[in-house]
Structures are given as structure tokens and as C-alpha cells.
Amino acid sequence: MLNGSVSGGICFPVGIFFDDRLSALEAITKFLREEHGLRYSEIASVLNRDERTVWCTYRNASTKSSGRLSCSGSDILIPVSAVGARELSVLETITEYLKEDMNLSFSRIAFVLRRDYRTVWTVYRRAKRKRAANA
């Protein structure tokens, strides 16, 4: 289910993070633009970002990775709405979603996001601290 959706919303597979040249936001933006054919304004709306930021992010992603994103072997879908919170970074929201909503272990999250285990743990702890400070 490559262009999948959960509960009617747009989702992206974690396989888009397999290209380690791209940041999380670059991978998501590239996926939404190329796989779903969304305009920059639509991507900006669903990601809660400025349209100029989305345009620049997509341009950078296309420069780093000219081909389509490979999503093979990616069975975990993340709703785009999960990364719209601006009080956390994109990687923090993704990590938090995978840990709390998908009940994945830190080692599994590290594997699917192609990040070091310690990075994932640190990002998750930072997200929890930010949430607690904003509560």
C-alpha cells in the first residue's frame, strides 16, 4: 500500500527514510510531491509549514536525490497529520508516533528510520521533555 491512507488521511511509508541523504522533512516533502502529486501550497497546509519552506525543501531534496524514493519493504505507514505539530521537530514527531502509537521498540525505530539507536532515544526523550514543558 504505497500511496496508503489511514482513516482517510494521507500517509507516508517509513521506507522513504531509507535514502540517508535526505532529512526527514525532505523525504516527506519529496514523497508528497512526487507520489501524491500535491502542490506546494497543499503540502504546506498538511505539514503546517510555509509554502516557501516547502518549495525550498523539495528543491534541496531533488538536488540530493534525483530519482523516486524507494519504499520497498515498507509496511509501516505514518499519517502526515502526525508531523504537523510545530512545537516538535519532524524527526521528534515521527519517533514519538512510532514509539507511542505503533508501540515499536527503540531498536526497531532506529532500523526503520535508518538512524542510530542512541539518536532515536535522544530524540524521543527530547520530544517528551518539550511536551512536558508545554503542558
Please give the pLDDT value at position 73: 59
CA atoms of 45 and 39, how far apart (whole Å): 10
Please give the pLDDT value at position 72: 65
Instruction: Summarize the confidence of residues 65-90 as an average pLDDT.
Output: 84
For residue 93 the three cell numbers come to 514527531
Please give the pLDDT value at position 5: 44
Tell me which of 13 and 85 has the higher pLDDT.
13
Residue 86 has pLDDT above 80, yes or no: yes
Please give the pLDDT value at position 41: 95
Residue 3 has pLDDT above 50, yes or no: no
Nearest Cα neighbor of 14 from 131, 101, 127 is 101
Instruction: Summarize the confidence of residues 111-118 as an average pLDDT.
Output: 92
Q: In the chain, where are the structural domains located?
A: 10-134
> Which pTM does this prediction carry?
0.86
CA atoms of 64 and 55, how far apart (whole Å): 14
Residue 130 has pLDDT above 60, yes or no: yes
Residue with cell 520530544: 127
For residue 111 the three cell numbers come to 532500523
CA atoms of 25 and 91, how far apart (whole Å): 8
